[in-house]
Amino acid sequence: MSIPRIVYSVTDVNRYIKTLINQDENLKFIFVKGEISNFKSGANGHLYFSLKDKDCLISVCMFSSYASKLTFTPKNGDEITVLASVDVYPARGTYQLIAYELEEKGQGSILVELEKLKKKLLLEGLFDESRKRRINIYPNKIGVITAPNGAAIHDIVTNINRRYPLCEIYFFPSAVQGESAAKELLNAFNKSQQYDLDTLIIGRGGGASEDLFAFNDETLVRAIATSKMPVIAAVGHEIDSTLVDFVADKRASTPTGAAELATVDVREIEQKFDYAIETMKNAITDKLEEMKQDYLDLKESLNENMKTKLLLLSKDVEKYKEKLSALNPNNVLSRGYSISMNAEGKVIKSAKDVKVGDKLITVLKEGKLVSLVEEKEGK
């Protein structure tokens, strides 16, 4: 088969498709009903949202010139009928509805059913704070349920390894949007319950509200309520909350946030150790300084006590010296007294200690006398 080799640019293809759609009268000024989701209001007054039913959705743009004429404020969950034309946005190669009028029908059936289910599970106590469990931020094993090729698994693994590389990560892959997502998420959850995990993270990396529908599945929510380990929901959407967010023990707005909730940062541990060591060093230094000062104070006090004691002892010595001096024989002799001894040097205390004819030696202050006893009186 011979095909003419004519190479078109992307712009050529998109513009050609836009021309075809714009020329189709069946796609001009048509009425389309559905439920609003992912609603955004631009700074220039333009409105952007998705219109969805149970199975499909389409992007809608309403320029400010038409939006300014609305008699109500559109919001997510509103069921409306749109008067619009199908158009192509060549820059992205996507088709959308250009809306001219919006007719309010009430709250969308999808949102109504979701609210009914939420209230039912709430009344059963599945969302009670009392059943929320504490997350072990020093885990050995963490399980992760998310898409295998999405940014979420990369963000979670990268941040866990950066913050707390001591922990093992068990990955349970699953689709996170589409018809099979709810079933795959449930199967992945059931597999995770066969492991001894400290924490289980389930989620995805953001998306439009309609992409989060699998995380509102009643069977999945009830299963998570029975989890053996604490669950962190990381659906990745700040505005919309899913039922999995409500039943989980903790909710993170991003996969990175889930990794931070699930682990402590080792750098924080190191900082705490450094602070503790520094505190102990300062405490020891302060204690040593205190002991040193106590030693110096005690030394000074002891010296003063010793000086006082020595002074008292010195005074006592002087008193004893005076007493001893008073008893000194030389001092007695100086007052005119003398000491008499026999020839053997024994002090004579009584006349009976001598007899007539004995030789006596009498000691005076100056010198001594030698004499013989010629006569004695008394006993």
- For the stretch 340-359, pLDDT in tens is 888 888 888 888 888 888 88
b/e per residue, 103-142, with b = 16+ CB within 10 A? eeeeebebbeebeeebeebeeeebbeeeeeeebebebeeb
**Segment of 14-23, 72-81, 102-111, 137-146 carrying the highest mean pLDDT:** 137-146
The model's confidence at residue 239, banded by pLDDT at 50, 70 and 90, is low
Query: pLDDT band at 189, cuts 50/70/90?
Result: very high
Q: What number is the average pLDDT over the span 58-85?
A: 89
Q: What is the mean pLDDT of the chain?
A: 87
User: Quick one: what percent of the chain has pLDDT higher than 70?
Assistant: 95
The band of 230, judged by pLDDT with boundaries at 50, 70 and 90, is very high
pLDDT, residue 237, reads: 59
Look at the alpha carbons of 175, 180, 181, 183 in this order and tell me if their dihedral is positive or negative.
negative
- Burial class from Cβ neighbours inside 10 Å (0-12, 13-18, 19+) for residue 78 reads buried
C-alpha triplet 63, 64, 67: angle, nearest 5°: 90
Cβ-count burial 204-222 (b if 16+ within 10 Å, e if not)? bbbbbbbbbbbbbbeebbe
| CATH class assigned to 113-264 | alpha beta
Q: Is the pLDDT of residue 209 over 70?
A: no
Report the sign of the C-alpha dihedral through residues 147, 151, 153, 156, in that order. negative
Q: How confident is the model at residue 1 (pLDDT cuts 50, 70, 90)?
A: low
Give pLDDT, residue 160: 93
Rounded distance between C-alpha atoms, residue 249 and residue 233, angstroms: 8
Spell out the SS3 assignment of 273-337: HHHHHHHHHHHHHHHHHHHHHHHHHHHHHHHHHHHHHHHHHHHHHHHHHHHHHHHCHHHHHHCCC
Q: Tell whether the model's pLDDT for residue 219 goes beyond 90.
A: yes
The mean per-residue pLDDT over the stretch 180-191 comes to 94
In the three-class reduction of DSSP (H, G, I as helix; E, B as strand; rest coil), residue 55 is classed as coil
pTM (predicted TM-score): 0.54
pLDDT confidence of residue 355: 84
Question: For residue 141, what pLDDT is reported?
Answer: 96
pLDDT of residue 227: 95
Question: What's the confidence (pLDDT) of residue 271?
Answer: 81
Residues 135-152: what's their mean pLDDT?
A: 92
Q: How far apart are CA 280 and CA 285, in angstroms?
A: 8
Name the band, by pLDDT with cuts 50, 70 and 90, for residue 87.
Answer: very high
Mean pLDDT of 190-215: 86
What residues contact 26, with CB distance under 8 A and at least 6 apart? none
The structure tokens 């919001």 sit at 75
**pLDDT of amino acid 241:** 78
Total residue count of the chain as it appears in this document: 379
Region of 96 on the Ramachandran plot (φ > 0 left; ψ -120 to 50 alpha; else beta): beta
Mean pLDDT of 100-110: 76
Give residue 365's pLDDT: 77
Q: Which CATH number fits domain 10-107: 2.40.50.140, 1.20.1600.10, 2.70.70.10, 3.30.70.20?
A: 2.40.50.140
pLDDT for 222 equals: 95
pLDDT: is 120 or 343 the higher one? Answer: 120
Q: Would you say residue 236 has pLDDT above 70? A: no
Q: Which of 241, 240, 245 is nearest to 261 (CA)?
A: 245
Q: Which one is predicted more confidently, 359 or 105?
A: 359
Q: How would you class 86 by CB atoms within 10 Å of its CB: exposed for 0-12, middle for 13-18, buried for 19 or more?
A: middle
Report the pLDDT value the prediction gives residue 269, as an integer from 0 to 100: 78
Q: By percentage, how much of the chain surpasses pLDDT 90?
A: 34
Instruction: Give the CA count within 13 Å in the CB-facing half-sphere of 175.
Output: 11
Q: Read off the pLDDT of each residue in 322-351 and give the average, rounded to a whole number.
A: 79
Residue 248: what pLDDT? 94
